[in-house]
Structure 1
Amino acid sequence: MKLSCTSLLRWKSLLLLITLFVACSSEDDHDINSPCTDPSEHIYQEVDGIITVEMENTTIGEGWGLKTESPDFTGNGYLQWEGETAYNNPGNGLLTYRIQVNTPGTYRFLWRGRINEGNSGSDANDAWLRMADATDFFGYKAKNGSYVYPKDSGKTPNPNGSGKEGWFKIYLNKLNEWAWISNTSDNDAHAVFATFEKAGIYTVEISGRSKGFAIDRFSLFHENVNEADATAANLNPTITCQ
């Protein structure tokens, strides 16, 4: 059968569209909006010593609200704790993020948080954090070389304030703006770190504590990476699916 020029052009156009579709689908595998249909399949990849995670891109636990009211958020919004206060009871509204560490070592943890209720830096300023399968999970204060470890982790000393079952209370004290601050130990601020001895998939857990506290995104970055680079607004998560 001999095809006309018009038919050949139509077939060529169709083949071109199919090729473009396949190429775009391949490129979109790491797109934050459509890496896979089920957020429980997300694995956040470490790239050049940095793991970037948008808070809303997970299965959202009960008690968290997806919000857009506070300006200057990244991604599609931010999560705000709207459940009951859980000052001594971590694990409520559990948020789970799987991360792929490709470069073993010690990483600092920072989240971009905001106080969205109250009138002081001590109101609605914290949530719970746990990295139970990390080789080590600790707070460190560079000024005096002090370390603290989560309560019930089997290690001491422990931080000031509440905590249990390997959870750190993580807080900030800056009012009326988004801030990359994540400290533990009341009135004795320690930065937060995790050590991963081997490359592999690990789990970050976050749960609600203070009603009105909002989190936009978080970053885990290797100790050799500059903080400004790890928290740059133009960084996008790299996601694979499993």
Structure 2
Amino acid sequence: MKIPIYASVIILMFLLPKSLIAQALGYNNNRIAISADGNNQADFHPEARWPRADPDDWGGTPVALSLIAKLSKQDKLVHFSYNNFIAAPKHTSETNYMADGVNGAITRWNYDASRFFDVPENPETAIKHLASEISKSTAQDPLYFIHMGPSEFFYLSIKHVIENGNIEALNHVYVISHSGYNDNHLRRKSHHTMNQAIILSENRIKYKKIKDQNACNIPDKLWCSGTNFTPFHWMRDHNDEGIQWLYSRLHFHPDKRGADVSDAGMVYYLLLGDEDGNLTKLKSLFNNGILEKKKVEEKNGLLVFEAERFNIKGKWKLGFHSSASSGKFIYYDGANAYEKPDVKNKISYTFKINTPGNYTVKWVMRQPKDERGTDKGNDAYVYLSDDIGFAGSHNLTQYEKFYGRSQNDFVLNGVAEVKTDHKWLTAKFKKPGEYTINLIGRSHGLQIDRIVMFKDLTLEQVESQIKEITETSK
């Protein structure tokens, strides 16, 4: 619930390289604390202006946590409280969207769960924990506080610090806000504003209000596009499951206005020194995912990579099952395309070969449940860039059918079909370097777990080796 203002945006190519070395308010790998609202359990107290919080935190919190993880500062986040309406009820009959988002981030990006607090569950514990982190603050170890909810929670923590004789620590506390609503909203008449918290500190706290991070009517600026999810579609189509998950967190707003992660703009400002952050810049920052994986490389004549490394888009989707490597696989959810390839459903991945030679190309695949053992849901179109693919004597200069067959388990197989010939697929790598494999969906439901290439090894040896590893890298 913030008042939108419009802000100009500097062109990404000029701004982002500077941002990566610029951090705000003297931030230099210091401690971070965040407190957000997001309460969904209704608080019907007569003094509460609205019974629930603005649902923007349901998406903004996961994006904020993904930013911190992307910049490898999980250990610097020393406190995160959420659902921070003071005197509000616990979530007993409504979905706790904040807890779902927080727990998903903790699991995906290796946060310390002991630093996260659902405030209505135990307000006093959460308040004292933030107070303890504030009390540690010195000139050499300042605390940067991101203000994502009403001020009363922060005020009570400041009061606790002072009552325990640690008022001088407040000289080294920096507060970042972007919302007059959060600064001034009172859930009860007895509650306090941010200005009152600063006065309580005897003006020791350093306060910075950046520009409002909303520009919902101008989707290419800042962090909000209201009901228009188009600026967020890159999240939906990304091959990083965590980024796809971010997109899924936007779709719980009761008025379908979940395309708003504006509070994450404060984290972007703190860590990158840019209060004109936006979704285009975030896309660039997240290009290689949140927690970047090592580049896949061939090792000792074997190359293995997980299918979710493909740039998943079009009708390709990410699936989950315990029998897949790392519990994930991709599947083709489009209509059968037996007549010709549809490039809208093309996915690609580039890998590195260190030892040149002729490599057999296979995949670890499975057919959809009702079609296992049949000729349905079992094939895709394949093409190895630069015409390096061969099926027998046939040089693959275009996309050709590649198929397998399975029962209940993912299995290593794969045969190329060119005209009426059925041959194993070979990639001829003439020199070390990077190469690209491309797939296009052909039959609905096909599931792919991994891609495997090998030379000077038998199929049985490869089957044994890939049981011990998920991917190959140097």
Normalised to the residue count of structure 2, the TM-score between the two structures is 0.36
3-state DSSP of counterpart to 1:230: helix
Identity of aligned residues (%): 24
Contact 1:53 1:218 in 2 (8 A): yes
Distance 1:239 1:179 in 2: 22
Aligned residue number for residue 149 of structure 1 = 395
- Shift in Å at residue 68 of structure 1? 1.4
3-state DSSP of counterpart to 1:237: coil
3-state DSSP of counterpart to 1:133: helix
The answer to whether the aligner puts 1:64 opposite 2:316 as a matched pair is: yes
Contact 1:122 1:173 in 2 (8 A): yes
- Shift in Å at residue 85 of structure 1? 1.7
The answer to whether the aligner puts 1:235 opposite 2:466 as a matched pair is: no
The aligned length equals 186
- Shift in Å at residue 229 of structure 1? 3.5
Contact 1:117 1:124 in 2 (8 A): no
Alignment match of 2:353 (pick from 101, 114, 136): 101
Q: Deviations over 1:144-199 (max 9, x none)?
A: xxx3333xx3xxxxxxxxxxxx1121011333332211012277531111101111
Contact 1:39 1:58 in 2 (8 A): no
Aligned residue number for residue 86 of structure 1 = 337
The answer to whether the aligner puts 1:182 opposite 2:414 as a matched pair is: yes
Alignment match of 1:123 (pick from 356, 363, 376): 376
Higher helix share: 2
Distance 2:288 2:458 in 1: 29
In structure 2, the CA distance between the partners of 1:206 and 1:39, relative to structure 1 (3 Å rule), is farther
Q: Which runs of 5+ in 1 are unaligned?
A: 1-20, 22-31, 141-146, 154-165
Q: Deviations over 1:58-82 (max 9, x none)?
A: 321121121114x411024000100
Aligned-pair Cα RMSD in Å: 2.9
Aligned residue number for residue 159 of structure 1 = none
Alignment match of 1:205 (pick from 425, 438, 442): 438
Q: What letter corresponds to residue 208 of structure 1 in structure 2?
A: G
Contact 1:117 1:123 in 2 (8 A): no
The answer to whether the aligner puts 1:193 opposite 2:426 as a matched pair is: yes
Q: Which runs of 5+ in 2 are unaligned?
A: 1-74, 76-239, 243-284
Distance 1:110 1:190 in 2: 12
* Structure 1 range deviating more: 194-203 or 88-97: 88-97
Distance 1:51 1:33 in 2: 22
In structure 2, the CA distance between the partners of 1:226 and 1:149, relative to structure 1 (3 Å rule), is same
Q: Which has the larger radius of gyration?
A: 2
The answer to whether the aligner puts 1:218 opposite 2:456 as a matched pair is: no
Contact 1:114 1:179 in 2 (8 A): yes
Q: What letter corresponds to residue 212 of structure 1 in structure 2?
A: G
In structure 2, the CA distance between the partners of 1:37 and 1:225, relative to structure 1 (3 Å rule), is farther
Between the two structures, name the one with larger relative contact order (CA 8 Å, sep ≥ 6): 1
Distance 1:57 1:76 in 2: 14
Normalised to the residue count of structure 1, the TM-score between the two structures is 0.67
Higher strand share: 1
